[in-house]
């Protein structure tokens, strides 16, 4: 059982969905502290004039809370983000693929919690892309111990035999490899390098933007080839 455990992000980039596709179970790890100026409440989209941030305004006291506890503001942020994305991509070649997602995420209801919105949108985008991975939430489990012990206990509860981690976690997991071995869990790290480029609406390619960019600019049938199938195809050459 291959498992990934990551905090929910706001409209993540393609690498996040590549990670989801790579595992049997993807667990949202939102029972940890909210971090300011991170991917939890913001991401970039790419207009004809270049990339820019879409940021959900979060109360400054949120840094004292877990991600799952962070409330969303009661203002017009949903309408504003919808308008920004619509104006940015309305002339993109495959905007008709993006439109129903935007209506669902921003117009269907008023969201009250950041984690709820992020998890909902990530699950639905994954389904839209044809990903069949199962989802779980750390909120469903009892989390005990320090940072590494909590992770190991969660992996054990998820019946993991392999843990796929993001490359940035190497620093804090360095020296703890034996603990994974003791639980018969293989520790591996995701490689985000080598993604093929695609035609964006601006001339200079920016690979580090929200998945929304790819959905607006590339046919749905072609998206898997640009996120995960290209590795398989390269290995057959």
Q: What is the pLDDT of residues 69-121, one digit of tens each?
A: 999 998 899 999 999 999 999 999 999 999 999 999 999 999 999 999 999 99
**Gap between the Cα atoms of 167 and 175, Å rounded:** 15
Non-local (6+) Cβ contacts of 183 within 8 A are: 152, 155, 156
48, pLDDT greater than 60:
yes
Average the pLDDT over 20-35 and give the result: 97
**Gap between the Cα atoms of 1 and 138, Å rounded:** 17
**Gap between the Cα atoms of 203 and 217, Å rounded:** 13
139, pLDDT greater than 90:
yes
**Gap between the Cα atoms of 182 and 21, Å rounded:** 27
- Beta-bridge partners for 38: none
**Gap between the Cα atoms of 20 and 228, Å rounded:** 10
Average the pLDDT over 126-135 and give the result: 98
Average the pLDDT over 23-50 and give the result: 96
Q: By three-state DSSP, how is residue 31 classified? A: coil
Q: For residue 228, what pLDDT band results from cuts at 50, 70 and 90? A: very high
pTM of the model: 0.95
Non-local (6+) Cβ contacts of 6 within 8 A are: 16, 19, 26, 27, 28, 29, 166
Pairing of strands 186-189, 2-6: unpaired
């Amino acid at each position: 059982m291959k498992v990934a455990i990551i905090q929910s992000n706001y409209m993540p980039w393609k690498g996040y969905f590549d990670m989801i596709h790579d595992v049997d179970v993807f667990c949202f790890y939102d029972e940890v502290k909210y971090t300011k100026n991170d991917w939890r409440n913001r991401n970039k989209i790419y207009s004809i004039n270049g990339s820019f941030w879409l940021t959900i305004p979060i109360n400054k006291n949120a840094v004292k809370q877990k991600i799952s506890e962070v409330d969303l503001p009661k203002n017009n942020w949903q309408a504003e983000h919808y308008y920004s994305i619509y104006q940015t991509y309305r002339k993109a070649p495959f905007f008709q693929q993006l439109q129903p997602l935007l209506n669902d995420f921003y117009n269907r209801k008023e969201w009250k919690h950041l984690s709820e919105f992020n998890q909902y949108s990530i699950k639905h985008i994954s389904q839209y892309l044809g990903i069949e991975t199962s989802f779980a939430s750390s909120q469903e489990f009892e989390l005990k111990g320090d940072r590494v012990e909590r992770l190991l206990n969660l992996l054990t509860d998820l019946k993991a035999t392999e843990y796929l981690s993001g490359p940035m976690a190497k620093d804090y997991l360095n020296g703890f490899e034996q603990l994974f071995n003791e639980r018969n869990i293989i520790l591996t790290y995701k490689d985000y390098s080598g993604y093929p480029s695609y035609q964006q609406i601006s001339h200079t390619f920016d690979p580090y933007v929200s998945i929304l960019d790819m959905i607006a600019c590339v046919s749905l049938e072609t998206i898997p080839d640009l996120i995960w199938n290209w590795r398989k195809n390269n290995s057959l050459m």
